[in-house]
């Protein structure tokens, strides 16, 4: 198919999780095929898409205030004789499509996460009248998007990147009592091995060296091997590590109950798998875990962590916590505080519980806001202290860093350590895109500092060296 010259411009604004970041890239690719070039600001765009998040009330409310600002922009453009299409995508679109249409007449198009393959047609239809598309058709979506992505990013004028996301699994069957994801993203669906390998190979050809596999429950991914056998994420990681150019792999986010033996073994045996794991626990209290429908106890979680750490000593653990889940007592909360120290998290996200429409916990008796605020502050202090201890423990250690960009100060370059923390060193910007050994010399609250050691790791030399 011949791609039309990009004559129209699209601006995509992304909220929420990494899956949305990935989806926005795929939407941009799909729209590129329909002749839309991406732009960084909404002012010059013909099409503006908000890729939204519904996980907490604040996230969802942001969307309506942003639509208000865009409405003013749309009116100004109309006065200049220019028409602007406004679309809402993502999880708010899925959860509140009809309400958006009612509350926000400036919105022309609502498109849920499982309908992005229809985006070019939907945008065209939105030019003739308002459109809502919120069906679930995940398998079709990926097939259609894979067929559509005709042009490499370089041809779109995108800046080169060395680390990228790749969604391998979407949706969730777990139904934690607080969470909207099973409703906004639908049931668990895994993409087939061949499609994932093809996409990772494309990324490698683009220069990407580190791939992070994404899924709402990425470790629940299942596929079929060449022998017809059932494959889990552990085996998939081994397959992806064979792709020339892919030097580093990560995956996120995982559910504690889906950490199977093969995946834990991959942490032991696969060098390309980085020693970092995001494994949310949500609460340290067995009573609250049961009320949350997490289907594991505190001891199960700690046991899983012991097994992972035995497989990969020094692995950095990240977590998620909710404070003030309905019924949480001071004693329950103390169990959450305690588990932070027991695990020794390298980082963790923590949130005040936010009641979400349609979820079971929204109907339970709520913890008062000031109590939640107090607990959140205490939990965050514990998490920060744990993170500081982890970072301090890296000082003096060697680390291989994939350099991705220049730093804020001249002469500085920034990359990621194997443990995912940013590392800043003084170095030549020509090193960007390479993996270099660094000695960690100091630790800040959120990042590490280091000095370059000699040598380059990995099968791929620098572009400049390859040419010499
Ligand atoms: N699939 C992932 C998490 C997806 S949502 C998992 O199971 O771990 C990301 C995080 O948002 C969750 O881990 C949880 O900590 C938080 N979260 C989800 N629903 C929430 C709610 N109603 N209120 C506050 N935080 C919430
Ligand atoms: Fe939400 Fe629980 Fe599913 Fe994670 S596992 S996406 S928290 S329902
Ligand atoms: Fe938000 Fe949807 Fe991700 S609700 S966290 S954007 S899956």
Q: Tens digit of pLDDT for each residue in 51-109?
A: 999 999 998 889 999 999 999 999 999 999 999 999 999 999 999 999 999 999 999 99
Q: Are 408 and 434 in contact (CB under 8 A)?
A: no
Question: Which residue do the tokens 């809402």 mark?
Answer: 88
Q: What is the DSSP letter of 282?
A: B
Q: How confident is the model at residue 147 (pLDDT cuts 50, 70, 90)?
A: confident
Task: Tell me the C-alpha distance between 138 and 172, whole Å.
Answer: 12
User: 141-394: what fold?
Assistant: pyruvate-formate lyase- activating enzyme (3.80.30)
Q: Which residues, other chains included, contact 75 with Cβ-Cβ below 8 Å and sequence gap of 6+?
A: none
**Percentage, residues of the chain above pLDDT 90:** 85
pLDDT at res. 19: 97
**Hey, whose CA ends up nearest to atom 6 of ligand 3?**
53
Closest ligand 1 atom to residue 350 Cα is 15
Q: Residue range 355-359: average pLDDT?
A: 96
Rounded mean pLDDT of the chain? 93
Q: Which residues pair with 189 in a beta bridge?
A: 170
Look at phi and psi of residue 317 and say left if phi exceeds 0, alpha if psi is from -120 to 50, else beta: beta
Q: Which residues, other chains included, contact 111 with Cβ-Cβ below 8 Å and sequence gap of 6+?
A: 87, 88, 89, 93, 118, 119, 122, 131, 133, 134
Question: Which residue do the tokens 């280091």 mark?
Answer: 450
Residue whose CB lies within 8 A of the most ligand 3 atoms, among 12, 16, 280, for a mutation test: 16
Q: How confident is the model at residue 4 (pLDDT cuts 50, 70, 90)?
A: very low
* Numbered ranges of CATH 3.40.50.12160 in the chain: 9-135
Distance (angstroms) between ligand 1 centre and the Cα of 432 equals 34
- The pair of structure tokens assigned to 343 is 């695990």
pLDDT tens track for 207-257: 999 999 999 999 999 999 888 889 999 999 999 999 999 999 999 999 999
pLDDT at res. 226: 81
pLDDT at res. 135: 86
Q: What is the largest CA-CA distance in the chain?
A: 68
The torsion defined by the Cα of 443, 444, 446 and 451, in degrees rounded to 10, comes to -50
* Numbered ranges of CATH 3.80.30.20 in the chain: 141-394
Q: What is the DSSP letter of 273?
A: B
pLDDT > 50? residue 465: no
The phi, psi pair for 459, rounded to 5°, reads -65, -25
- The pair of structure tokens assigned to 240 is 């992806």
Q: Which residues, other chains included, contact 159 with Cβ-Cβ below 8 Å and sequence gap of 6+?
A: none
Distance (angstroms) between ligand 1 centre and the Cα of 345 equals 17
pLDDT at res. 329: 98
Task: Tell me the C-alpha distance between 107 and 99, whole Å.
Answer: 11
Query: Which ligand lies nearest the alpha carbon of 20?
Result: 3
pLDDT at res. 364: 96
Q: Residue range 351-377: average pLDDT?
A: 97
Strands 398-406 and 412-416: antiparallel
pLDDT tens track for 22-42: 999 999 999 998 899 999 999
CA distances from 465 to 160, 204, 236, 438, 468 (A): 18, 18, 32, 19, 5
- The pair of structure tokens assigned to 308 is 């992972």
pLDDT at res. 136: 81
Listed in sequence order, the DSSP H helices in 34-89 are: 57-79
Distance (angstroms) between ligand 2 centre and the Cα of 52 equals 17
Pick the CATH number of 9-135 from 3.40.50.12160, 1.10.150.120, 3.40.50.1100, 3.40.50.300: 3.40.50.12160
Task: Tell me the C-alpha distance between 119 and 111, whole Å.
Answer: 8
Q: Which residues, other chains included, contact 100 with Cβ-Cβ below 8 Å and sequence gap of 6+?
A: 63, 67, 88, 92, 93, 107, 110
Task: Tell me the C-alpha distance between 103 and 27, whole Å.
Answer: 25
Q: Are 181 and 199 in contact (CB under 8 A)?
A: no
Least confident of 81-95, 143-157, 352-366: 143-157
Write down the pTM of the prediction: 0.94
pLDDT at res. 297: 98
pLDDT at res. 158: 72
* CB 171 less than 6 A from any atom of ligand 3: no
pLDDT tens track for 401-451: 999 999 998 999 999 999 999 999 999 999 999 999 999 999 998 999 999
Q: How confident is the model at residue 459 (pLDDT cuts 50, 70, 90)?
A: very low
Q: How confident is the model at residue 7 (pLDDT cuts 50, 70, 90)?
A: confident
* CB 148 less than 6 A from any atom of ligand 2: no
Which of 29, 189, 53 minimizes the C-alpha distance to 116?
29
pLDDT at res. 18: 97
Burial readout 179-215 (b: 16 or more C-beta within 10 A, e: otherwise): bbbbbbbbebbbbebebbeebbebbbebbbbbbbbbb
Residue 81: HSE in the Cβ half-sphere, 13 Å Cα cutoff: 0
SS3 category, 62: helix
Query: Which ligand lies nearest the alpha carbon of 294?
Result: 2
Residue whose CB lies within 8 A of the most ligand 3 atoms, among 181, 183, 214, 215, for a mutation test: 181
pLDDT > 80? residue 462: no
Task: Tell me the C-alpha distance between 315 and 423, whole Å.
Answer: 17
pLDDT > 60? residue 49: yes
pLDDT > 90? residue 360: yes
Least confident of 4-18, 342-356, 390-404, 421-435: 4-18
**Hey, whose CA ends up nearest to atom 11 of ligand 1?**
55
**Percentage, residues of the chain above pLDDT 70:** 94
- For helices 330-343 and 369-394, what crossing angle results, to 10°? 10
Task: Note the CATH number of domain 398-452.
Answer: 2.40.50.140
Peptide linkage before 18 cis (omega within 30 of 0):
no
pLDDT at res. 1: 44
**Hey, whose CA ends up nearest to atom 1 of ligand 2?**
179
């Amino acid at each position: 198919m011949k791609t039309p010259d990009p004559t129209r411009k699209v601006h995509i604004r992304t909220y929420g999780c990494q899956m949305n970041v990935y989806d926005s890239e795929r939407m941009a690719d799909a729209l590129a095929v329909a002749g839309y070039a991406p732009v960084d600001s909404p002012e010059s765009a013909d099409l503006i898409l908000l890729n939204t998040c519904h996980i907490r009330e604040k996230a969802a409310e942001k969307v309506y205030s942003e639509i208000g600002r865009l409405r003013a922009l749309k009116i100004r453009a109309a006065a200049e004789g220019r028409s602007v299409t406004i679309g809402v995508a993502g999880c708010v679109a899925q959860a509140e499509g009809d309400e958006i249409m009612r509350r926000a007449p400036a919105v022309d198009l609502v498109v849920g996460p499982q309908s992005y393959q229809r985006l070019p047609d939907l945008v065209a239809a939105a030019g003739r009248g308002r459109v809502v598309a919120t069906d679930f058709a995940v398998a079709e979506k990926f097939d259609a998007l894979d067929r559509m992505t005709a042009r490499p990013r370089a041809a779109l004028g995108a800046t080169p990147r060395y680390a990228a996301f790749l969604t391998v699994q979407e949706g969730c069957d777990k139904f934690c009592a607080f969470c909207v994801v099973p409703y906004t993203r639908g049931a668990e669906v895994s993409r087939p091995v061949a499609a994932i390998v093809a996409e990772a190979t494309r990324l490698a050809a683009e220069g990407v060296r580190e791939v992070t596999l994404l899924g709402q429950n990425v470790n629940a991914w299942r596929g079929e091997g060449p022998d017809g056998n059932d494959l889990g994420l552990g085996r998939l990681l081994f397959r992806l590590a064979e792709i020339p150019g892919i030097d580093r792999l990560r995956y996120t986010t995982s559910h504690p109950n889906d950490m199977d033996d093969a995946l834990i073994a991959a942490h032991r045996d696969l060098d390309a798998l980085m020693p970092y794991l995001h494994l949310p626990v949500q609460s340290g209290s067995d009573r609250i875990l049961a009320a949350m429908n997490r289907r594991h106890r505190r001891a199960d979680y700690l046991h899983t962590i012991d097994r992972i750490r035995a497989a990969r000593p020094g692995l950095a653990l990240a977590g998620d916590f909710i404070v003030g889940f309905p019924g949480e007592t001071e004693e329950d909360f103390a169990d959450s505080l305690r588990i932070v120290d027991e695990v020794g998290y390298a980082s963790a996200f923590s949130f005040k519980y936010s009641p979400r429409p349609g979820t079971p916990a929204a109907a339970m008796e709520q913890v008062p806001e000031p109590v939640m605020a107090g607990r959140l502050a205490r939990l965050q202090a514990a998490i920060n202290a744990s993170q500081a201890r982890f970072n301090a423990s890296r000082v003096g250690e060697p680390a291989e860093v994939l350099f991705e960009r220049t730093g804020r100060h001249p002469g500085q370059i920034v990359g990621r350590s194997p443990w995912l923390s940013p590392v800043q060193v003084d170095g030549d910007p020509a090193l960007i895109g390479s993996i270099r050994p660094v000695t960690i010399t100091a630790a800040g609250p959120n990042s590490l500092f280091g000095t370059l050691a000699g040598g380059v790791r990995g099968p791929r030399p620098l572009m400049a060296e390859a040419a010499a």
